[in-house]
């Protein structure tokens, strides 16, 4: 299922050739700067609250949101930027994370006592993505949050059941 989802993700990435809107551009530009050793900085003023006294550029980035998507993209750029180009390399990192979503969806459905058949259905829905499939490969994709959030609830449920290894 994850391999099929990976194929769908790569195919849908063809449709998304650049960041789709201003927030996505922000993530991508800062990811590029981070990958090239310039830190979490922006060489532009996103919002005048960031630089009330017109501080010189660059300024610290991510004053309004967390840098998870940016750091993930920066890793892709650092590893594959020379081979794929910066945006496609950033996408590759997001696609790699999104490829795990069907497996996590299956595990989540099983943890809720769904049958294997319905759990596979849940995994397929997440893997295919429907009309929102291009969103899973966008520069500011929700794939990392979906993966981390689902894993959190799986681990939390297990801990709540006291389903952990016993120490001798």
Write the pLDDT tens digit of every residue in 31-49.
999 999 999 999 988 877 7
pTM, full prediction: 0.83
Closest CA to 69 of 37, 44, 40: 40
For residue 15 the two structure tokens come to 């449709």
Q: What is the full DSSP assignment across 19-36?
A: --SHHHHHHHHHHHHHHT
* DSSP β-bridge partners for residue 59: 42
Q: Which residue has the tokens 């893997």?
A: 127
Q: Taking the alpha carbons of 133, 136, 96, 147 in that order, is the dihedral positive or negative?
A: negative
Judged against a pLDDT cut of 70, whether residue 20 lies above it is answered with: yes
For residue 97 the two structure tokens come to 């994370």
Q: Which one is predicted more confidently, 138 or 120?
A: 120
**What is the per-residue pLDDT for 45?**
84
Write the pLDDT tens digit of every residue in 77-94.
999 999 999 999 999 999
Write the pLDDT tens digit of every residue in 100-131.
989 999 999 999 889 999 999 999 988 887 77
Q: Which one is predicted more confidently, 143 or 166?
A: 143
Q: What is the mean pLDDT of residues 140-150?
A: 87
**What is the per-residue pLDDT for 84?**
94
**What is the per-residue pLDDT for 40?**
95
Q: Which one is predicted more confidently, 136 or 120?
A: 120
Q: Which one is predicted more confidently, 55 or 14?
A: 14
Q: What residue ranges do the domains of the chain occupy?
A: 2-160
E strand segments, 12-155: 41-42, 59-60
């Amino acid at each position: 299922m994850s391999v099929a989802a990976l194929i769908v993700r790569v195919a849908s990435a063809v449709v998304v050739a650049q960041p789709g809107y201003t927030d996505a551009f922000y993530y991508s530009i800062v990811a590029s700067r981070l990958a090239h050793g310039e830190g979490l900085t922006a060489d532009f003023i996103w919002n005048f609250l960031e630089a009330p006294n017109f501080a010189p550029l660059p300024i610290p980035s991510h004053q309004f949101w967390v840098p998870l998507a940016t750091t993930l993209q920066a890793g892709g750029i650092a590893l594959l930027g020379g081979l794929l180009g910066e945006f496609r390399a950033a996408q590759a990192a997001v696609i790699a994370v999104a490829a795990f979503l069907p497996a996590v969806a299956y595990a989540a459905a099983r943890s809720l006592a769904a049958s294997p058949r319905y759990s596979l259905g849940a995994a397929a829905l997440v893997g295919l993505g429907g009309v929102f499939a291009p969103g899973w490969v966008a520069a500011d994709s929700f794939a990392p949050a979906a993966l981390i959030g689902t894993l959190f609830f799986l681990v939390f449920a297990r801990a709540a059941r006291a389903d952990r290894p016993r120490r001798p």
